[in-house]
């Protein structure tokens, strides 16, 4: 009930005009005191709402909410098979799809949200998710060949995000193994892959994607690494409906390509965009640090790390790659 009230309240305030507390209370069937409490909780989520006596409540800036019909209208023929759900408030788009396994989900199903209360990054980190500012989405993909087919999926997703951004905004991003997208050395987007199943049996995969679109100033204070957002790098006003649809389009294309050919045909593109290619790096895993030279990735998506003139593959896991 509280979630439904918050969502209705957000929609009433989205256009940036004043709405009286009395009218809000009447439309939602709650008291003026309850309205005030709900407004405070929305401010805690990152929405900048202020009040003026005699006028009511208003957002400091209007927000353009994601609209499912507009996302669907921009999907390619192949991607139209995807079921797309748009949520205002959710714990995590990955968690939402994982809860629907195995019987209440279909191939290519997508969950998109305006805000995540428990957004996740890799290695247990929180993914900062200010309301209505970025893209938070996840896609489900069935792996008929089992978890062995999951090798390289973070590469597939990174290439797909690169494809979408290049197609819409003519921006070349940088790719950082295993699952980050950068612009000019600053983090723009991240990928989180969740797998369920057995190694030699058909498995389930959820691909989570977070892209910084327009970072609110207050939200950036919680980020402890260099970051950027997409709007900073293009004069084109970013329409999140179009961006989400294009990511779905490109991700669908790349997943079918991966299903048929693996990532072999994507390697050249990865090498052209690899943030650390042929540079000194350090690999941190389980508190241990190994220094070497990044030599790109192999056809399974493993990092090729040269140490003492020997190149060895590193197959993901709880690792972090950084420049020396």
Span 134-180, pLDDT tens digits:
999 999 999 988 888 888 999 999 999 999 999 999 999 999 999 99
Question: Domain boundary at 59, 76, 92, which?
Answer: 59
pTM score: 0.92
Listed range (86-90, 99-103, 195-199, 279-283) with the worst mean pLDDT: 195-199
Task: Give the integer Cα–Cα distance in Å for 316 and 154.
Answer: 10
The first and second tokens of residue 269, run together, are: 């593109």
Shared-domain flag, residues 249 and 314: no
Shared-domain flag, residues 261 and 178: yes
The first and second tokens of residue 98, run together, are: 């994982």
Instruction: Give the pLDDT confidence of 307-319 residue by residue, as tens digits.
Output: 999 999 998 777 8
Total domains in the fold of the chain: 3
CATH number, domain at 319? Answer: 2.30.30.100
pLDDT at site 220: 64
Shared-domain flag, residues 129 and 241: yes
Shared-domain flag, residues 293 and 306: yes
For 86-131, the DSSP string reads EEEEES-HHHHHHTTTTTS--TT-EEEEEEESS-B-GGG-B----T
- pLDDT band with cut points at 50, 70 and 90 for residue 100: very high
pLDDT at site 316: 77
Shared-domain flag, residues 290 and 316: yes
Does 187 qualify as catalytic in the annotation? Answer: yes
Task: Give the integer Cα–Cα distance in Å for 192 and 178.
Answer: 10
> Catalytic one among 32, 68, 106, 322?
322
Instruction: Give the pLDDT confidence of 43-58 residue by residue, as tens digits.
Output: 888 788 999 988 999 9
Cis peptide bond N-terminal to 136, omega within 30: no
Who contacts 185 (Cβ-Cβ below 8 Å, separation ≥6)? 174, 226, 275
Residues tagged in the binding site annotation: 92-94, 116, 120-122, 187
Instruction: Give the pLDDT confidence of 110-144 residue by residue, as tens digits.
Output: 999 999 988 776 555 666 778 888 999 999 999 98
Residues tagged in the binding site annotation for biotin: 92-94, 116, 120-122, 187
Average pLDDT over residues 284-291: 88
Does 309 qualify as catalytic in the annotation? Answer: no
Q: Is the pLDDT of residue 222 over 70?
A: no
Average pLDDT over residues 10-23: 92
pLDDT at site 162: 98
Shared-domain flag, residues 108 and 155: yes
Structural domain harbouring 73: 68-271
Average pLDDT over residues 20-28: 90
Does 122 qualify as catalytic in the annotation? Answer: yes
> Catalytic one among 187, 265, 282, 312?
187
- pLDDT band with cut points at 50, 70 and 90 for residue 201: confident
Shared-domain flag, residues 157 and 265: yes
CATH number, domain at 157? Answer: 3.30.930.10
> Catalytic one among 122, 240, 254, 295?
122
């Amino acid at each position: 009930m509280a979630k439904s009230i918050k969502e209705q309240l957000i929609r009433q305030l989205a256009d940036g005009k004043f709405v009286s507390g009395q009218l809000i209370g009447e439309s939602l069937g709650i008291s003026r005191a309850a309205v005030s409490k709900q407004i405070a909780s929305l401010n805690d989520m990152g929405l900048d709402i202020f009040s003026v006596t005699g006028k009511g409540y208003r957002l400091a800036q209007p927000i353009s909410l994601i609209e499912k019909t507009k996302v669907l209208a921009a999907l390619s023929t192949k991607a139209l098979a995807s079921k797309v759900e748009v949520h205002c408030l959710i714990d995590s788009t990955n968690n939402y799809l994982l809860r629907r396994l195995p019987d209440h989900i279909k191939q290519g199903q997508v969950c998109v949200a305006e805000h995540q209360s428990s957004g996740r990054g890799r290695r247990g980190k929180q993914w900062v998710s200010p309301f209505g500012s970025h893209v938070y989405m996840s896609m489900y993909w069935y792996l008929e060949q089992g978890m062995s087919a999951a090798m390289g999926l973070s590469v597939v997703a990174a290439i797909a995000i690169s494809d979408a951004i290049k197609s819409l905004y003519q921006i070349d991003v940088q790719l950082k193994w295993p699952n980050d997208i950068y612009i000019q050395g600053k983090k723009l987007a991240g990928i989180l892959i969740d797998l369920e199943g057995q190694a030699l049996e058909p498995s389930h995969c959820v691909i989570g994607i977070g892209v910084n679109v327009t970072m609110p100033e207050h939200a950036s204070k919680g980020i402890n690494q260099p970051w950027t957002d997409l709007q900073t790098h293009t004069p084109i006003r970013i329409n999140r409906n179009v961006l989400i649809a294009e990511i779905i389009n490109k991700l669908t294309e790349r997943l079918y390509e991966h299903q048929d050919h693996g990532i072999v045909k994507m390697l050249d593109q990865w090498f052209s965009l690899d943030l650390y290619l042929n540079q000194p790096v350090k690999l941190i895993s389980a508190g241990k640090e190994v220094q070497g030279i990044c030599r790109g990735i192999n056809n399974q998506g493993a990092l090729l790390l040269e140490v003492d003139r020997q190149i060895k593959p590193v197959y993901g896991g709880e690792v972090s790659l950084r420049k020396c």
